Chains A and B, each alone.
Chain A
């Protein structure tokens, strides 16, 4: 209840600040929030923006899922197996800081200009965020948990299933929540080429036409999309990691 009240309060403060800034700047580059909201709601009611929201949501979620499915197992293994950590950590350090968006031409050659290349680029960018977090989480597991299970005769897979995966779950989900934010932000970039659908496309297209109300409608859609995905992950964390909130 307290959380909901704080959320509404934060939204009101943001809207008031936006309104104040729009009045103060008095520029077409920053329309007033009621104009944007009216535009967004009318497009929503006319069904004009729903396709864009859905395709953007699909690209962001698919990117995060693909990134997590590859980064989490690898991160856990690097964190838990010292030999693997020694040999793979230099690669992580060298590849992590690269601005991965520059690989776009290569990704287009490999995966075409459709949805797949957009999803792969999102996955590639968030891959390292999730990899580093899960690796560190697996490395920090207290050895007593592992020893406890080993004395019960656990196999390697059972160690992962009963200790490593659940122990790192809260941090993995936190990394995924951060990734959702990153993924939505990258939509702006990946939907700027070879597509006429998606919130990123709406933003780029409106920008080109200097239709700033439509541009901010796109931004509002992105913010709402990020917010809903964030809430869903929060809900997932509550049900999977109930023990962590006691």
Chain B
């Protein structure tokens, strides 16, 4: 469903190339999930933007299956403060020129699923961080995406809310047959949610480790010894990368 082939990407400033990502290749298919983790500034967000089509690589290619729809949740949820919860969620459908009645039905359905119906007329500023995140998820899901791209979607939440939303994400992933791609700086989150975990190294970002993690997506997994083992492995890889960067 997603195929990334030898992708390199640079920001160009006054004709100078600042390489952010170099020679990135991977493939993920329907039914899987992908977590991208790495130190700050390693190009995780740029990689997600390349997948979303917001950026174009200088080298290589990003292939997404034809007809595949992408729902996106950007950092700080990307909700529009000037639109109510209902209109934030409805926007994606409005842009596709879908009939008002169908928009109404689909938005209400997703509001119900995310337990947001009583808050339909609230503005984002009137909601807690956890609820804002549910609205962002609802907005991404209402367009019935095949791929769900998320940039550190749970980073600013407290531990309990974060855990609840991780469970919600797992539920969505399994019920909606959507392929989640999550950029995170939390090792535990990457191992819990990514059937494939990609670790990016620093400056320019390169893949330094790809972890097959078939057990991801099982809520009980976070209590298992294997989960801790994999977290420890990733922590070690990241620590080594950070030390190499400092040296």
Interfacial residues, chain A to chain B (CB-CB below 8 A): 144-145, 147-154, 158, 162-163, 166-167, 169, 241-244, 246
Contacts and interface: CB of A to CB of B under 8 A. Distances in A.
B247 interface: no
Interface string B48-81: 0100111000000000000000101011101111
Contact of B52 (A151, A154, A244): A151
Nearest to A150: B54
Main secondary structure of the interface of A (DSSP, over half): helix
Contacts of B52: 147, 151
Contact of A147 (B78, B80, B83, B125): B78
Given A149-B91, A166-B82, 13 more contacts: A145-B78, A147-B49, A148-B78, A150-B54, A151-B53, A152-B95, A154-B95, A162-B83, A162-B91, A242-B123, A243-B82, A243-B83, A244-B81
A153 B95 contact: yes
B82 A151 contact: no
Interface in B86-126: 91-92, 95-96, 123, 125-126
3 smallest CB-CB distances across A and B, nearest first, come from A148-B78, A151-B72, A166-B82
A152 B145 CA distance: 11
Contacts of B178: none
18 contacts: A147-B74, A148-B74, A148-B78, A148-B80, A149-B91, A149-B95, A150-B54, A151-B52, A151-B70, A152-B91, A152-B95, A153-B95, A153-B96, A162-B83, A241-B82, A243-B123, A244-B81, A246-B123
A169 B81 CA distance: 12
Most buried by A among B52, B76, B82, B123: B82
A148 B76 contact: no
B61 to A, nearest CB: 19
Contacts of A149: 91, 95
B143 interface: yes
B78 to A, nearest CB: 4
Contact of A169 (B74, B78, B82, B91): B82
B74 A243 contact: no
B5 to A, nearest CB: 22
Contacts of A241: 82
A171 to B, nearest CB: 13
A144 B78 contact: yes
Given A148-B74, A151-B70, A167 B82 contact: yes
Nearest to A241: B82
B95 A148 contact: no
Nearest to B125: A246
B173 to A, nearest CB: 19
Interface string B175-203: 00000000000000000000000000000
